[in-house]
Structure 1
Amino acid sequence: MPDPSTTNRLLSLDVIRGVAVMGILVANLAAFGLPEAAYFAPLAWGGTAPADLFAWFITFVFIEGKMRGLFSFLFGASILIVTDAAERHGDNAAATHYRRMATLFVIGCAHLYLVWLGDILAHYALVGAIAFLFAWLSVRWLIAAALLLLAYATISSALGAVILFDSAAQDSPYAIAIWNSFAIGFGVPPRADMLGQIAAMRGSWIDAIAWRWHHAADPLTVLPVLAPETLSAMLLGMAGYRSGFLCGAWHRARYRRWALFCLGVALPAYAMLGMVTLRHGFAMQWVYLNAMVLAEPLRTLGFIGYAALLMLALRPGGPLTLRLAAVGRTAFSNYLGTSLLMVAIFNGLSLFGALSRAQLYLLVPPAWGLMLLWSKPWCDRFHHGPFEWLWRSAARGRWQPLRRVSA
C-alpha cells in the first residue's frame, strides 16, 4: 500500500510505526517517572490506590511488551527495505546495513547514558546486526526460526521463575542473594536504593549520568537475555514484509481472521494474568512468572494482532491516517524527542518519583498531541525527521539532502 504523497514508502508501515511509537510512550511512562523497580511492581513506588492499580492493569493488558514487540516487528521489515534499496542502487547491502547498525549503537549508548535508562536503540543495533544473517531465508523458514527463538526465550524465562520460586523462602545466603537480585526489577528493592535513584534523577544532569553509568544495564551484558525475543519479533517482521502482510497485499477477510484470533487469545489471557498478579498481592515470584514467562508468547500474538487490526483500520488519504503516517516517518525523532521531553519534565522539574502511577498518564494526551501536531508539517517540508537525518548522514559519512525541493 504505497503512500501517494511520498516516494517508495509504504503507508501501512508508517502508520503502524506511528502507533507503535505512541504506544511505547505509554509503556515507558512508569520508567520515565518512577524508580526502576516500579515498572513491573506497583508496591515498589507510585502508589497502590485503586486508580494506580487500574492504570497498571490497563497498561499491562493492552500495552506492556506489545508496543515494543510491534516496533521490533517493524524494525525487521525495515532491514529488508533498506538492504533491498541498497542492492537496487548498486550498493553493498551488508556494508549499508552494518554502517546503520554501528551508528545506531553509538546513538543508543549516548541515549542510554546521557538521557534515559530505558534505551532500546543500542539493543536493536546489536540484534539487528544478527538479524541480517537471516535475511536470505524464505517466509516459511523465517517464521520457523522466529518460533524456535520464542520457545527458547520462554523456556529460559521459565528457568528463571523456577529459581525465583525456590528462593522465595530466603532460607540461605544464596536464596537471599537471588531474591534481592530479582527485586531490582520485579519486586521491592531496599528503600535506600530507590531514594538514591530519586535523588540522582532530581539532581544535576551530571548526577543522573553518574547514576546511570553505575546502574544501567550494559547492552552487551543483557544481549543474551533479551536478544532471543527481540530477534524473534524482527524475523517475524521480515516474514510479514516478504509475505505481503505489512504491505496491504492480503484480503481484508484474512487480516480480520488474524486480528480476531491473535487479540482474542492474547488480551483475555493477559487480563487473566493481571488478575492473578493482583490476587497474589504483587508477590515478586508471581509478577515475574506472569509478566516474563506466561506472557512471553502472548506478546507475540498481541503485536501481530494489533498489526492486523491496523491494516484493517487504514484509510489512505484520511486526515488521521496521514497524521499517524507522519508520526511513523519521524518515529526515531519522536522516540528520542519523547525521552528529552520526559527527562526535562521528571528530572528538570524534579518530579521524578513525585507523581503517582495514575497521574503519570495525564501526560499522554499532550504528548500524543505534540507528536501528531509537528510530524506532518515537518514531513511536508523535509525528507526525513531531524534525528533520522542525522542517523542517515552519520551512517553514510556525508550530509544527506533534508529540505524538499518545490516543483
Structure 2
Amino acid sequence: MAMPDAGYINPRAYGGGRPIDDALWAVNFVLFEGKMRGLFSLLFGASMALVVDGARANGEEGASVHYRRMFWLLLFGLAHHILIWANDILFHYAVIGAVAYLFLRLSNQVLRRWAVGLLVASIALHFLMAAGMHATVAQGTAPAATTAQRQAAEQVLRSSEGPGTPGIADHLKTYRSNYRTIVKERSDDVRSEIVFFLVFLGPETLGLMILGILLLRNGFLTGKWPDDRLRPVARWGYLLGIPPSIALAVWQWSLDFSALPVFTSFIAWAEPFRYAIILAHAAFAVLVFRRFAGTALAARIAAVGRAAFTNYLGTSLLMTTLFYGYGLGLYGHVGRAEVYLFIFGVWILMLLWSKPWLDRFRYGPLEWLWRSLARGSLQPMRRAAA
C-alpha cells in the first residue's frame, strides 16, 4: 500500500538501498512473506468448518449458509479490489472456499492426502514456471542466441520485478493521482488479477484450507494437542524451514538482488520451506496463547481475531487514504524501514478498539453486516446488559 508492488519483492526495485531496508526485507522474506497468508488460509478453512457445523447444529442447511456467505464475500472482495485496494484476497477466498466445501464430509485421512497433493502440485507448478524463466534467459543470453530467443529473455527480465521494472513510473503517477484515476486503473486490471490469483495461488489456497479443516478436526487448532506434541511440530518446522530460507535470502543479497533470482525465489524456490514455517508458526501460536491464556493482552489479540474482517477492510481504508494521492499522498515517499512505524501504529489501533467494541457488541461492524446478509435478516448486535 505504501509503494509499487515490485518493491515488496525486490528492495532494489523500490524502497531499498540502505542496510536497514535490506535487513528488514530479509526478515520479512524468511519469517513472514507468504506465511501470514498461509495461516489466513488455514484459519479460513477451519472457520468455514465451524460455521457449517454451527449452522447444522442450529437446524439450518449447512450448504445454503456457506454458499450465501461465499457469495457475499465475493461481492465484498470485488468492491474492495476496485474501490479500495488492488491486492484483495477476499474474492479469491470466496471462489476457493466454494470449492473447499466439497471436502468437508471427507475423512481425515482423505483430507490429508488432498492437502499434501495440492501443496505438492503448487510447488511443482511454480518450480516449472521458475525453471522455464531461467532456461529462457540462459538461451537468450548465450552467444549463439537467435533474435527471438534474445527478445524472449529480455521479456522475462523485464517482468521479473527488479530494478528498472517497466511501469514503476506509471504506477507512481497513478497512485499519487486522484481517486477516479486509481479506480479506473484497478477496474481495468480486475479480470487479469482475479485469473492470476486463481491460477497461481489456487492449488496452494485450497490445499491450506483443507489442511485447516483437518487441523481443526484433529484438535491441533483447538488446543487439544498437548505441549509435548506441539513442540516437535514447531521445532522441526522451524529447523526445516528457516535455515534454507536464510540461505536463499543470503544468496539473493550476494547477487545484489539481481532481478531473476529474487523473483524466482519469491515465486518458487522458497515455497517448500514456507509450508514448514507455516505449520511451525501455527504450533508456536497455540503454545504461546495457551501459556498466556487469561492475560489482558491475549484477550485483546483474541478480540482482534474476532473482528478480523473489519480490521482487514479497515486497514485497507486507513492505509490507502494515508498513502494514495486522494489522501495524504505519501505513496512512494516513505522508505521500507519507516513503513514499519505505520504497521505498528495499525497494530496498536486494532488492539485498542476491538475488545471494547466486542465487550458491547456480539460482532465487529462488518462481521455483523456479512452475517446479516448471509442469513437474510438483521442479526442481534448489542450484547445483553449484565
Alignment TM class, shorter chain as reference: over 0.9
Asked if 1 retains the 8 angstrom alpha-carbon contact of 2:133 and 2:156, the reply is no
Change (3 A) 1:405 1:175: farther
Asked if 1 retains the 8 angstrom alpha-carbon contact of 2:357 and 2:364, the reply is yes
Distance 2:180 2:215 in 1: 43
Name the larger-Rg structure: 2
CA offset at residue 185 of structure 1? 5.8
Please state if 1:37 is matched with 2:6.
Answer: yes
Please state if 1:205 is matched with 2:179.
Answer: yes
Distance 1:173 1:97 in 2: 50
Q: Which amino acid aligns with 2:219?
A: G
Change (3 A) 1:395 1:173: farther
Specify which of 293, 310, 318 is matched with residue 316 of structure 1. Answer: 293
Please state if 1:356 is matched with 2:335.
Answer: yes
Unaligned runs of 5+ in 1: 1-31
CA offset at residue 358 of structure 1? 1.4
Unaligned runs of 5+ in 2: none
- Higher alpha-carbon deviation: 353-362 or 175-184: 175-184
Specify which of 350, 353, 356 is matched with residue 374 of structure 1. Answer: 353
Specify which of 6, 13, 16 is matched with residue 47 of structure 1. Answer: 16
Q: State the partner residue of 1:396.
A: 375
CA offset at residue 218 of structure 1? 3.1
Distance 1:207 1:83 in 2: 41
Distance 2:330 2:93 in 1: 29
CA offset at residue 316 of structure 1? 2.1
Higher relative contact order (CA 8 A, sep 6+): 1
For residues 5-404 of structure 1, the aligned pairs below 5 Å read 32-169=1-138, 170=140, 172-173=147-148, 176-177=151-152, 179-180=154-155, 183-184=158-159, 186-188=161-163, 190-191=165-166, 193-216=167-190, 217-314=192-289, 315-347=292-324, 348-404=327-383
Distance 2:346 2:262 in 1: 29
Asked if 2 retains the 8 angstrom alpha-carbon contact of 1:37 and 1:184, the reply is no
**What SS does the aligned partner of 1:394 have?**
helix
Asked if 1 retains the 8 angstrom alpha-carbon contact of 2:162 and 2:259, the reply is yes
- Give the alignment's TM-score, normalised by structure 2: 0.93
Aligned length: 375
Asked if 2 retains the 8 angstrom alpha-carbon contact of 1:180 and 1:189, the reply is no
Distance 2:268 2:31 in 1: 17
Q: Kindly report the root-mean-square deviation, in angstroms, between the aligned alpha carbons of the 2 structures.
A: 1.7
Q: Which amino acid aligns with 1:102?
A: F
CA offset at residue 201 of structure 1? 1.0
Change (3 A) 1:175 1:89: farther
Distance 1:73 1:182 in 2: 34
Q: State the partner residue of 1:6.
A: none
**What SS does the aligned partner of 1:273 have?**
helix
Distance 2:87 2:40 in 1: 15
Distance 2:384 2:26 in 1: 48
Distance 2:18 2:300 in 1: 36
Asked if 2 retains the 8 angstrom alpha-carbon contact of 1:202 and 1:350, the reply is yes
